[in-house]
Structure 1
Amino acid sequence: MNKKVYLNGNSYVQLTDASLVPSTNGAVASFTFTMYNAGSTSINVIDYWARLKTKSGTKYTLTLLDKDKLKTVSPNSSATLVFYSEVPASVTLDKLVLDFIKFDFSVSGYEKTIGEFTFPAEYSNSIPAGGFKTVKINSSNVNLRVDQINVYKATDKYNINLSYVARNTSQFGVPLPEYNYYVQTSVGLYKLAVKNTSDANTTLEPSVLNSIRLTGSVPTSVPASNWKLIITQKLSGDSSVELPVGTFAIPFTVNSNSITTKSTFTDEVGTYDVELQSVQRFPWNDEDNVVAKVLVKNTESVYLPLPSLTGTLIIDENISLDSQVISNTGDVGLAPGASTTMTFVGKLPYSYNWKKLKLQLMEKSGETTAQVAEIAKNDVTPIYSVPNGSVYKQLSNGSQMSVQATDVRTYSGDTDDLFAAYLDITNNQTRSAYLPYWVAYFKADNGNLYPATVVKSPNAISPSNKDQVIAYANIPQTVNHNTLQLLIGEAFDNNGLLKKEGTPAGYIRAVTLGLPAEKTDTTQYKDLKVGPYNVDLNYFNVYIGDTGTLEIDLGGNVARDYSYDAFSQSKLLFELEYEPSGDVLWSQQVNLESKSDNAIQWKVGDNYNSISKDLAQTKFWSRYTLHVYDTLNGNKKLLFSKDVKFSSITNWLDGQH
């Protein structure tokens, strides 16, 4: 093989391929030569031929493919010559002798052998796994390579899904020929069909990697080892002869019918691996969301669309839970070797504990829906816990963000108290994005759950900026607030993940956040935090004016953290109270940058206000208490408290009193 036989001067002929494949009449032997003309005049192809015989002397007639088109080889160019012949099935390449001859009427028999080729017993032109073969299609060179194979053992047959890739390395597009495909086993050939008719009619454009998917079956009585893919092409006008195009090794592992966490399926566009990574239970009203997270991977060498999957959860063999599939925002397709996750959610009474769970995956094609995979996982994966002070990072496509609990506050009311947790949600994407709509529960150390109301912005958040989210609930005073955790997840409705507003039908990707201890010091009037604002109070003066009015001078400095794109808290409530009786002498709302009726507006920077209030009844006590509150839904959280007296010359916030 590959040795050069010189014709004259530097012109030569070279055997580049030899193949022998089974056929309906026995076998077809084919031999490919490259004839190169290094001279200055054309070479007449008809002056040369090939002869085939066995070592024992049996002769076979060779036919030259496209002989009517191969007349001459021009100077400094080459031509491909393919000779073929039908031979008995018992013939092997090592039993054959191939002669290349030149017609010469000056010698006996009128032909002269100028090259002889034999083949060793171990000779094989089969392409090893991962290798490629270059074939000629028209005048273009095209590389062929087996991409992947999946063999699934059914009751009486092996179901085969196989794909190979073709890359045209020339400059012009060529149509894929009408090849035939076979699996060669130790007992015979089994034909494969092109799975997608559009693949059979594809045009191989220059440099584009095209994937062609094949499907078929082999009886389970056939040994499942040492299989090969044979690609052939029928001769035009002779349906009985198929010339070999290539033979490829296809090592594989049989997927049994036992159900595990992993499976593989092939549809009309490609082959995917699926893996049931986790099964979790999330509380949802008086039920549980059963949440199955499935990894979907593209095993092809070409881009594939995200498969259109639906799923049914099977509990303890006989209980079926219809599930909703939720894809990541922005998932459209998968690059070669890439993966993403899809989530399947069903509902189950929270008191039911299963022993077995499996997920049946279906895919719709046209008007029919067929099961493509079945995966199982019996263990329930615990909800991921984030310790207090740590940051939870979500990396899923379309939801890249960071979540951190930064503060908790108890807001007192006339009839009940609100317990609130503050979260910083940072957009880690490179574009402005609508961050998730959340579902949240406060969880006590005894496992009791308290549904929380979540306050978030419906607006998009800029890259690296934050949304300050508040989750609050009425928590019984008998519950120790210091041990509460916050269970929070991304809400979805019937259309998928919620980003702005809506009515949740459940949630996915839940985590449990450890919460910081509540700040109880109310003696500091510097660095009061409200939303994205830090307020330093620096002036408070109160006295009775000459006309009996209450006169108050109030001042402070406001700083803002502009990394917050969204927030809901931006007000302070000032009250002057006589605590023994609970009488409130004066109450004033201060809005930070915002405006509203009967409120004072403070802007970023220094602020100072003089306030006069008519008193319906003048009450004189020796001491009053200034209270500064953060408010939520009419409830109040005390931030600062200080005893003061009436004095027209005293600033109670100058650090001297």
Structure 2
Amino acid sequence: MKNNLRKVMIASVVLGITPIVWVHDLPAVQAANASKSISQTKTTLKTLANVPGVKLSNKSSVKISDVNVLTQDEGKLVTYTLTYTNNEKKSLQLVDYWTKVRSKGGTSYTSKLLAQDAEKKSVAAGSTLSVTYVTTVGKNVQLSNLNFEIVKWDFSKPNYENVLGKINIPSSYVVATPMNTSKKVRINDVPVKIKVQSLQTFAASDTNNYASVKINLHNVGYKGLENPAVKWILRTAGGSSYPLNINANEATYSLQPQESKSINYITTIPKKVKLDGAELIMVQENEADKSVIPLATMQMPKASTIKSSEIVVGKKNVITLEDNKGKIETQVKDVSYSQVHWNNYYTVSFRLKNIGSREVAVPKYEFSVQNAKGNDYPLTTKALDDLKLKPDEERLIRLTFKLPYEEASGTLRLVMNTPKAENAESKEIKFSYPAGVYIMPEATSLQKSIGAENTLQLQNGTLGVTWNSIQRLPWENADVLSARVTLRNISTNTLKLPELKGMLSIDSADIPDTQLLTSQSSALLGPGMSVDIHLLTTLPTNLDVTQLQVALSEVTGENSSELIRLTHIGQLPAIPTIDVGNNYAINASGKKAEMKVKRTLIYPGTSSDIVYTELEVKNVEDRQVDLAKLTGYYESKNGEYYKTTVKQIDYPAGPGNSALVTVWAKIPRKTIVSDMKLLVGQTVAGESTTGTQGTQGTSGKGYVDAVSFALKPDQESAQETIKHINIYPYTLETKDFKATLSGGTTVNLSWNYDASRINDLNLPENEHKLILQIIEPTGKSFDKEIILDKDLKEGNNQFINWTIQDVVFDDRRSGAYTIAIYDEFQGQRIKLATQAMGFAPAVGNLPGGE
């Protein structure tokens, strides 16, 4: 198989015992010779089966059938199994027999029956029975120096003991179960055949190798085996011992009757340590006295070396999950990067696909990046948390990391490591190893991002991502920073957008309170359709911005993974300027419109002038819509900003219909207003850029997509006749104007006019007033306030009558006066027309009369 490493999905679990040093009880040369002997011929191999037993009677005997040795700090732990054969016609009572361990020098060691065999009292006629004992001998005592005595109780003897015989294992004998041979053991009181299938090594670091051991377990009993409470140790011919750790996915497993299962274990071993002649020891914790005892020793096959092959750019890597539970196809799709403050920020699109026939749980692989120098940089992701894939289902995840400039040159490799396991008690983190090493393609630079479309692969299609604009706008006592990004479906099928989260980053500092706003509520995008999203935050007005990033992440539950990060370096682009008389297109999805400046007026005051602008906004959608809500600021040539009050219609505009938007602010008289500009943008509210219409431009959380309209204030002089008067939306034609003296203090006034109303625009509530002012020769003036749409009537031959009463007119019979007509807004006025006239009964009252 080309890359066996990919087929192995082993992770670590803690053995749960204190690491100790075990020393092989046979000299290394003996083990090496035994291994050599095995490789030459099986006929010369001497095992425990060749060790003579002890006769108990003419038809009964006992033999030593298994011996295992484990060296600890306090001594060498030896377990040995005695197998009784009873060919008598009656039961053999084990209470009559005992065993002792004694060195050839005469030192006696106490043996203790294992708890699991404590209830074995007799051997039935015509059967065999095995019982296991444990004893502790000196650390330097060799197995060949021990005699295993078989004792029968005899009360006629002085010490009541009758030694029936001694069993000794010569040093030339092999105690371990030979290679390619199964050994039957009892695990959790279930008979299981164990067999070592393979030993493989591969590089872990410059100084260490991983050693992977595959063990086959076959339940030959009649009940299931649940979570075997055994552990495994790899012991080298030189006597060094290394605990083996189980794959995290197999940390708990079951084995049904007659079921066979192969389990992989792994450990790290220094490269200088040789594995020829290594053995595998099965140990079990003794709950009674909290000790660890060896239960089986197996010879290991010769180690084969696995070379970690790299997956070339664009190549797919198929990983077989543990115990053939499924197959996952993996691939690095694309890589992009941007640069901020001496660091490269990378985004890797990584594809996983279940190519098996059943649902699989994707292991929690851990990723790192290796640069050309060989340095390793871990990266974190939660994209694999609880990830399951159905057959043929694939998932695209995003992996992000950063590297300093000097570490980012040359070829980069993405390393996918097997999961690490953590022991719940010790919290000791164990190792993992690569399941795949992927050479990453050349990264696409996202450095000059504004205006360029970048490709983003999603689960069900491809998006074009364009960072259209970035704007820094005045907002109350701060600035609002907004970025507009367009997502375009460039697939041939309808896409469902994932739940998105946005992040603005200024000079590599992420802004956690970034708002993400969308121009539409639906997450569906048909082929070729697009949607605008805005990222919005506020900044101190004195904060300089030299580098800016926009990041989009996919939200899944409580986790998120970054999809793309775009970068802009240098000064922010200028706000687009619309020349006098030109239109500006609002391209908000579902609210497309055209906007232009209709006129700008200056209403003079004593300390401040009112700058007033009328905007005409046309609905270019094919249906009735609420027009975008606007926010505005006047900007002086010196860069001073004055927030405006905006008034708009509060009802939808029909297809092709236009509406008037009024914008105004009080500007100090010292400010030159003739060269001002009007900054206008779309107000945002909540999570949308298309909030409900309102009358005040100060509502919402900010504004976006602003443009700067060049203004040309209307400077027409007042007319010298009141015959024709224009005050939008009315055109007035004066038919007659009379001021009749009564001979006392009263003057009766009458204005006869024709009025036509222009209905080309939908208008908000009109705040303008028409002021008729009478100025008599002494300079005293009298005002008549006419509220448009209330006092002023549309139609021909309309009249407005009113009375002035003042002592200045007492006994006056004739004379002249002046009439002035004003447009008043917020208490400040623009003169529309003026004319000198005479009090009735003087002639010439008709304006323009000859």
Scaled by the length of structure 2, the TM-score of the pair is 0.47
- Pick one of 601, 622, 633 that aligns with 1:441: 633
Corresponding residue for residue 528 of structure 1? 725
Offset at 1:592?
3.9
- Pick one of 824, 841, 847 that aligns with 1:631: 824
Corresponding residue for residue 474 of structure 1? 666
CA, structure 1 residues 223+510, in 2 after alignment: closer, same or farther (shift >3 Å)? Answer: closer
1:559 and 2:756 aligned: yes
Offset at 1:490?
1.0
CA distance in 1, matches of 2:751, 2:513: 62
- Pick one of 548, 572, 575 that aligns with 1:380: 572
CA RMSD across the alignment: 4.1
Q: Contact conserved, 1:279 with 1:377, CA < 8 A, in 2?
A: no
Mark the structure with the bigger radius of gyration: 2
CA, structure 1 residues 260+361, in 2 after alignment: closer, same or farther (shift >3 Å)? Answer: farther
Which residue identity is paired with 1:588?
K
- Deviation digits for residues 458-517 of structure 1, max 9, x if unmatched? 222222222221111111212222111111111113343333227222100111111223
Task: After TM superposition, list the pairs within 5 Å mapping 1:373-412 onto structure 2.
Answer: 373-378=564-569, 379-412=571-604
CA, structure 1 residues 196+470, in 2 after alignment: closer, same or farther (shift >3 Å)? Answer: farther
CA distance in 2, matches of 1:356, 1:505: 24
Q: Which deviates more from structure 2 when the two are superposed, residues 324-333 or residues 279-288? A: 324-333
Q: Contact conserved, 2:359 with 2:388, CA < 8 A, in 1?
A: no
CA distance in 2, matches of 1:649, 1:157: 89
Task: After TM superposition, list the pairs within 5 Å mapping 1:87-486 onto structure 2.
Answer: 150-152=333-335, 159-161=349-351, 215=396, 255-256=443-444, 261=449, 263-318=454-509, 320=511, 322-329=513-520, 332-378=523-569, 379-413=571-605, 416-486=608-678
Offset at 1:656?
2.7
1:517 and 2:700 aligned: no
Which residue identity is paired with 1:566?
L
Offset at 1:433?
1.8
Q: Contact conserved, 2:347 with 2:563, CA < 8 A, in 1?
A: no
CA distance in 2, matches of 1:459, 1:468: 12
CA, structure 1 residues 213+271, in 2 after alignment: closer, same or farther (shift >3 Å)? Answer: farther
CA, structure 1 residues 571+430, in 2 after alignment: closer, same or farther (shift >3 Å)? Answer: farther
- Deviation digits for residues 543-575 of structure 1, max 9, x if unmatched? 203565312221222222222222333642212
Q: Contact conserved, 1:295 with 1:339, CA < 8 A, in 2?
A: yes
CA, structure 1 residues 160+332, in 2 after alignment: closer, same or farther (shift >3 Å)? Answer: closer
CA, structure 1 residues 280+650, in 2 after alignment: closer, same or farther (shift >3 Å)? Answer: same
Offset at 1:614?
4.1
Task: After TM superposition, list the pairs within 5 Å mapping 1:3-152 onto structure 2.
Answer: 150-152=333-335
- Deviation digits for residues 573-616 of structure 1, max 9, x if unmatched? 212124864x223x32334443xxxxx34124442344444445
SS in structure 1 of the partner of residue 618 of structure 2: strand
Q: Contact conserved, 1:406 with 1:516, CA < 8 A, in 2?
A: no
Corresponding residue for residue 641 of structure 1? 834
Q: Contact conserved, 1:574 with 1:626, CA < 8 A, in 2?
A: yes
1:588 and 2:788 aligned: no
- Pick one of 766, 770, 773 that aligns with 1:572: 770
More strand by share: 1
Q: Unpaired runs of 5+ in structure 1?
A: 1-21, 25-148, 164-175, 181-193, 203-211, 225-251, 595-599
Offset at 1:303?
0.8
SS in structure 2 of the partner of residue 522 of structure 1: coil
Which residue identity is paired with 2:628?
P
CA, structure 1 residues 431+197, in 2 after alignment: closer, same or farther (shift >3 Å)? Answer: farther
Which residue identity is paired with 2:731?
N
Q: Contact conserved, 1:195 with 1:268, CA < 8 A, in 2?
A: no
Offset at 1:528?
3.2
CA distance in 1, matches of 2:398, 2:676: 58
SS in structure 2 of the partner of residue 564 of structure 1: coil
CA distance in 2, matches of 1:432, 1:328: 17
CA distance in 2, matches of 1:447, 1:157: 39
CA, structure 1 residues 321+610, in 2 after alignment: closer, same or farther (shift >3 Å)? Answer: same
1:505 and 2:701 aligned: yes
CA, structure 1 residues 222+255, in 2 after alignment: closer, same or farther (shift >3 Å)? Answer: closer
Q: Unpaired runs of 5+ in structure 2?
A: 5-331, 338-344, 361-383, 400-409, 415-439
SS in structure 1 of the partner of residue 662 of structure 2: strand
CA, structure 1 residues 456+579, in 2 after alignment: closer, same or farther (shift >3 Å)? Answer: farther
Count of matched residue pairs: 448
Q: Contact conserved, 2:647 with 2:662, CA < 8 A, in 1?
A: yes
SS in structure 2 of the partner of residue 540 of structure 1: strand
Q: Contact conserved, 2:838 with 2:844, CA < 8 A, in 1?
A: no
Q: Which deviates more from structure 2 when the two are superposed, residues 496-505 or residues 376-385? A: 496-505
Q: Contact conserved, 1:531 with 1:567, CA < 8 A, in 2?
A: no
CA distance in 2, matches of 1:216, 1:525: 75
Task: After TM superposition, list the pairs within 5 Å mapping 1:595-610 onto structure 2.
Answer: 600-610=791-801
CA distance in 2, matches of 1:652, 1:383: 55
